[in-house]
A and B are shown apart, each in its own frame.
Chain A
Amino acid sequence: MENKWFTISVYSENSVGLLNRISGIFLKRHINIESLNVSKSEIDNVSKFTIVVYTTEDWVRNIVGQVEKQIEVIKAFYHTDEETIYQESALFKVASTLLFDERNIQNIIKDSNSQIVTVSREFFVLAKTGRRNEIDDMYQQLKPYGIMQFVRSGRIAVTKSEMKISSLLKEFNQ
């Protein structure tokens, strides 16, 4: 079975220690977490983990089963890239002089659809949201001019199909 990119979505209670419990499942199977994002979800007091892994479908199915088994996990899913809408965000800190001295920098900003978050005397910060390859392209374009700092977020994703968490929770409260 071939390795593929999978996005794992985990809906959970907001509880201390759950991240440790979940990451331990990946650790046990020696699977690298390519990216991890934890945030609130569409439901009050329910957290959402978005975890990206590169592995086989058999393994991701097993992992998701073991994640879902954790007491404080409400539901866990895995999806392929085709089944999700996903984005990442990145920040580039660049020297301010370049904004005026290098004409091409302005073209890069325009072409990449990135935003200037702040400009100061010494540096300016660009924010870019998009697919991993778009961020990588922008990185490659800016690199020759010098990037003072770079950071990229984990993937965030929503799925094309419904997850039905609310109805699950409603069932419990009946």
Chain B
Amino acid sequence: METLKKEKTAPSKQIRKRISGAEAIIHCLLAEGVDLIYGYPGGAIMPLYDELYKFQDKLTHILTRHEQGATHAAQGYARVTGKVGVAVATSGPGATNLITGIADAQIDSTPMVCITGQVARHLLGSDAFQETDIIGISTPVTKWNCQVTKASEIPEVLAKAFYIAKSGRPGPVLVDITKNAQVEEFDFSYEHCTGVRSYNPYPKPDIKAIEEAAHLINSAKKPFIVFGQGVILGKAEEQLKNLVEKAGIPAAWTILGLSAMDTEHPLNVGMVGMHGNYGPNLLTNECDLLIAIGMRFDDRVTGNLDTYAKQAKIIHFDIDPAEINKNVKADVAVLGDSKVTLDMLIPLIKANSHESWHNEFKEKYKIEFEQIIKNDVYPTKEKLTMAEVIEEINIASGHRAIIVSDVGQHQMIACRYAKFKQTKSNVTSGGLGTMGFALPAAIGAKMGAMDREVVAIIGDGGYQMTIQELGTIFQNKTPVKIVVLNNDHLGMVRQWQELFFQSRYASTVMVNPDFVKIAEGYHIESKRISERKDLKATIKEMLASKEAYFLEVKVEKEDNVFPMIPSGASVSDIRLK
């Protein structure tokens, strides 16, 4: 009995039949439609780099300055294109440096294939130079991983790797290839993988569950949609919009769902979660039906589960059966690809408007606007705020930029205030919260969407975690726009210290270098501003530049992000100050 389904691909004419494992890797990547990879060479992966040299006209390799940067770049590329990102590293430290990016891709469902070199087969287990058990290390953070010790295994394993990475709920896959397998020659042929018998990536939707869901939606008085990245990964943006408009249901997003729906859509009521909008959080506990689409009820979204939407019936649409009833019990679970299930649902939905219910969101927005948004976006105080910078970018880019944010206060502000017309435009590290994500991810995002403006929004802390990737930007002339919102603090931790640790600012004050000089060292056009009068013109200048541009904005040092649901509190306990 076969365990894999395969599809023969027409062999490319240039391929000699008998080739090395390393050359086979290149042909596998080309057969999977890969034309851009990120990585860093080293001893155990040198045979592959030797082939990359020969195939550089077909396959571009971007040398990052650290393997972690390669993974985040691959993630950024994958997030904006929907294609599989590829990162390559050598054995030992090269491989372990991939782990943060892999863990990030796992929790944020990003399709990625990582290829690592490994010591030769006869040295495995002997503590050889740069040997590390990367299969053991990466197991908990990969969707799948596999070690290859023979050249002849390469095509099937890589075909399976790409299939697994991109199908169903996407995720990272690591393939570890011993040096001897890269050198050995074998008779090459390639077949795409189209199925793995022990893996069911697309559960068949149950029409009964969809009918039940439709019944609940049609009879609800206060229905509320919360959508996540499942909508983007399932390419169901159109379906979501149709459902929202037909049923007249207010819809809010998780930070990974952001940009799946136009932020200016009248029924888009904002963001849920710890620093989400006031209305969506508060009214989660007042709706009578919560419709979760492609989201996983993360603790940063739900707060205390014991007091989360207890009054409401819950419908959970998801592709991953393991997410159903994991955190929140669903009254109706609809398994399947969001595009397929929503397409089945929409014809069963009765047109509605729920006007008075929608007005409740508008009322709450007014409160939030008066108490928070107004002061964030249109401040009257002297120092610049993070939010007014984001707003200027909104205006100057016409809501069309891809925003890549790092982790911390600036991320929450970027997610709260950035406006998006297009899907796949918000790239951020949501689940893992990886500081240092944004700069390399922005490189990948830009390379995946050369026709679009890519703006990285980074704090002064996270920026210095992967600052060396300025070298990658310089070497490749990647025209990304880098905005560091500098408050000379690890702002989010400082905020928690202020609110919950009686202002004991343990290790959150940053004495920062001259960021502009550092950017200049990499020959990147750069500027620092600290006054409101310079903001508009500088953002315009930055976006008008055809090249990379670094902008440091000195912002108020001790601003806090509000609203806020304190860790472990109920969504009803959302604080406005």
A residues with a Cβ closer than 8 A to B are 12-13, 17, 20-21, 24, 28, 44-45, 61-62, 65-66, 68-69, 71-74, 169, 172-173
Contact sample, A vs B, 19 pairs, CB 8 Å cutoff: A12-B198, A13-B197, A17-B145, A20-B136, A21-B139, A24-B140, A45-B1, A61-B325, A62-B325, A62-B326, A65-B322, A65-B326, A66-B322, A68-B321, A71-B198, A71-B199, A73-B198, A169-B197, A172-B5
Q: Which residue of B lies closest to A75 (CB)?
A: B198
How many angstroms between the C-alpha atoms of A69 and B142 in the bound complex? 12
How many angstroms between the C-alpha atoms of A145 and B321 in the bound complex? 53
How many angstroms between the C-alpha atoms of A114 and B139 in the bound complex? 42
Question: Is B2 part of the binding interface, using a Cβ–Cβ cutoff of 8 Å?
Answer: yes
Q: Which residue of B lies closest to A17 (CB)?
A: B135
Does A71 contact B1, Cβ atoms closer than 8 Å? no
Contact with A along B161-196 (1 / 0, CB 8 A): 000100000000000000000000000000000011
Question: Contacts A13-B3, A20-B139, A44-B1 given: A71-B326 contact, CB under 8 Å?
Answer: no
Q: Which residue of B lies closest to A166 (CB)?
A: B1
How many angstroms between the C-alpha atoms of A68 and B199 in the bound complex? 9
Question: Is B143 part of the binding interface, using a Cβ–Cβ cutoff of 8 Å?
Answer: yes
Does B322 contact A71, Cβ atoms closer than 8 Å? no
Does B198 contact A74, Cβ atoms closer than 8 Å? yes
Interface of B is mostly: mixed
Chain A contacts of B3 at CB under 8 A? 13, 45
Q: Which residue of A lies closest to B196 (CB)?
A: A71
B residues with a Cβ closer than 8 A to A are 1-3, 5, 135-136, 139-140, 143-146, 164, 195-199, 320-322, 324-326
How many angstroms between the C-alpha atoms of A74 and B3 in the bound complex? 11
How many angstroms between the C-alpha atoms of A173 and B2 in the bound complex? 7
Chain B contacts of A13 at CB under 8 A? 3, 197-198
Chain A contacts of B195 at CB under 8 A? 172
A132 to chain B, nearest CB (A): 30
Chain B contacts of A169 at CB under 8 A? 1, 197
Q: Which residue of B lies closest to A43 (CB)?
A: B1
How many angstroms between the C-alpha atoms of A69 and B167 in the bound complex? 13
Most chain B CB within 10 A, of A24, A28, A61, A72, is at A72
Q: Which residue of B lies closest to A65 (CB)?
A: B322
Contact residue among A17, A45, A74 (Cβ-Cβ distance under 8 Å from B139): A17
How many angstroms between the C-alpha atoms of A144 and B524 in the bound complex? 82
B106 to chain A, nearest CB (A): 12
How many angstroms between the C-alpha atoms of A62 and B234 in the bound complex? 24
How many angstroms between the C-alpha atoms of A28 and B2 in the bound complex? 33
Contact residue among B5, B140, B321, B324 (Cβ-Cβ distance under 8 Å from A28): B140
A166 to chain B, nearest CB (A): 10
Chain B contacts of A66 at CB under 8 A? 322
Does B320 contact A69, Cβ atoms closer than 8 Å? yes
How many angstroms between the C-alpha atoms of A13 and B144 in the bound complex? 13
How many angstroms between the C-alpha atoms of A169 and B2 in the bound complex? 9
A50 to chain B, nearest CB (A): 18
Chain A contacts of B146 at CB under 8 A? 17
Q: Which residue of A lies closest to B140 (CB)?
A: A24
Does B197 contact A172, Cβ atoms closer than 8 Å? yes
Question: Contacts A12-B198, A45-B1, A62-B326 given: A71-B139 contact, CB under 8 Å?
Answer: no
How many angstroms between the C-alpha atoms of A73 and B200 in the bound complex? 10
How many angstroms between the C-alpha atoms of A62 and B136 in the bound complex? 23
Chain A contacts of B145 at CB under 8 A? 17
Q: Which residue of B lies closest to A72 (CB)?
A: B198
Question: Contacts A13-B3, A17-B135, A169-B1 given: A69-B198 contact, CB under 8 Å?
Answer: no
How many angstroms between the C-alpha atoms of A17 and B145 in the bound complex? 9
How many angstroms between the C-alpha atoms of A44 and B1 in the bound complex? 9
A54 to chain B, nearest CB (A): 21
A160 to chain B, nearest CB (A): 24
Q: Which residue of A lies closest to B327 (CB)?
A: A62
A5 to chain B, nearest CB (A): 21
Does B139 contact A24, Cβ atoms closer than 8 Å? yes
Most chain B CB within 10 A, of A12, A44, A69, A169, is at A69
Q: Which residue of A lies closest to B135 (CB)?
A: A17
Chain A contacts of B324 at CB under 8 A? 65
Chain A contacts of B321 at CB under 8 A? 65, 68-69
Does B1 contact A173, Cβ atoms closer than 8 Å? yes
Chain A contacts of B139 at CB under 8 A? 17, 20-21, 24
